[in-house]
């Protein structure tokens, strides 16, 4: 299956770059409704050097960041927010259910719940092999790009 958006196309939409870009491609997008994106987790990730030596585990906060990046793409694909920047405003009900390790393929699922003039609320979850690793509700504030 061909990606809907490649890493290069993602970088045109959001300001994140290596080492803090946590999406390899977008699998599918339904603008204003939902998105599925992929992060291939490799042993070469910079964070594995310190988290944890001898037991590499992707930090939960970075799984949330990956979900936030996918949510940003979804929000910025909405006609009214095109060309703007989405900033995280809140994280609610975050739960971590499974560790994410090198070699895992992290699927990022985001569904739009609410959209207003300059904000959006999304339900998110990340899974590995069909098992939830993390879930959270994220709120975004959308502003003009500087």
CATH number at residue 38: 3.10.129.10
pLDDT at 82 over 90: no
Residue 115 falls inside a structural domain: yes
Residue 56 falls inside a structural domain: yes
Residue 58 falls inside a structural domain: yes
Mean predicted lDDT score pLDDT of the chain: 95
Residue 22 falls inside a structural domain: yes
72: tokens are 């940003």
Q: What's the whole-number mean pLDDT along residues 29-51?
A: 96
- Percentage of the chain beyond pLDDT 90 is 88
What is the Cα–Cα distance from 95 to 86, expressed in whole angstroms?
Answer: 23
Residue 2 falls inside a structural domain: no
CA distances 52 to 43, 101, 107, 124, 141, Å, are 12, 11, 22, 26, 33
What is the Cα–Cα distance from 62 to 116, expressed in whole angstroms?
Answer: 27
Number of domains the chain is built from: 1
pLDDT at 47 over 90: yes
- Domain with 121 in it: 7-144
The single-letter DSSP state of residue 116 is -
Residue 16 falls inside a structural domain: yes
Q: What's the whole-number mean pLDDT along residues 92-98?
A: 98
> In the annotation, is 109 catalytic?
no
pLDDT digits (tens, 9 = 90+) for 6-29: 999 999 999 999 999 999 999 999
pLDDT digits (tens, 9 = 90+) for 101-124: 999 999 999 999 999 999 999 999
User: How far, in whole angstroms, is CA 103 from its chain's centroid?
Assistant: 18
- Percentage of the chain beyond pLDDT 70 is 99
Q: Give the pLDDT of residue 87.
A: 95
- Active-site hit among 51, 111, 115, 132: 51
10 Å CB burial of residue 68 (0-12, 13-18, 19+) is buried
Residue 88 falls inside a structural domain: yes
Residue 126 falls inside a structural domain: yes
pLDDT at 37 over 90: yes
The predicted model scores a pTM of: 0.96
Contact 48, 100 (CB under 8 A): no
């Amino acid at each position: 299956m061909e990606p809907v958006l490649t890493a290069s196309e993602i970088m045109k939409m959001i300001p994140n770059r290596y080492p803090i870009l946590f999406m390899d491609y977008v699998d599918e997008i339904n603008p204003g409704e939902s998105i599925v994106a992929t992060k291939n987790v490799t042993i070469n990730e910079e964070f594995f050097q310190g988290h944890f030596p001898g037991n590499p585990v992707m930090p939960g906060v970075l799984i949330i960041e990956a979900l936030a990046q996918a949510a940003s793409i979804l929000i910025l694909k909405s006609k009214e927010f095109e060309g703007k920047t989405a900033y995280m405003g809140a994280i609610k009900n975050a739960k971590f259910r499974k560790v994410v390790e090198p070699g895992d393929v992290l699927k990022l699922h985001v569904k739009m719940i609410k959209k207003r003039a300059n904000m959006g609320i999304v339900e998110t979850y990340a899974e590995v092999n069909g098992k939830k690793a993390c879930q959270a509700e994220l709120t975004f504030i959308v502003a003009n790009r500087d």
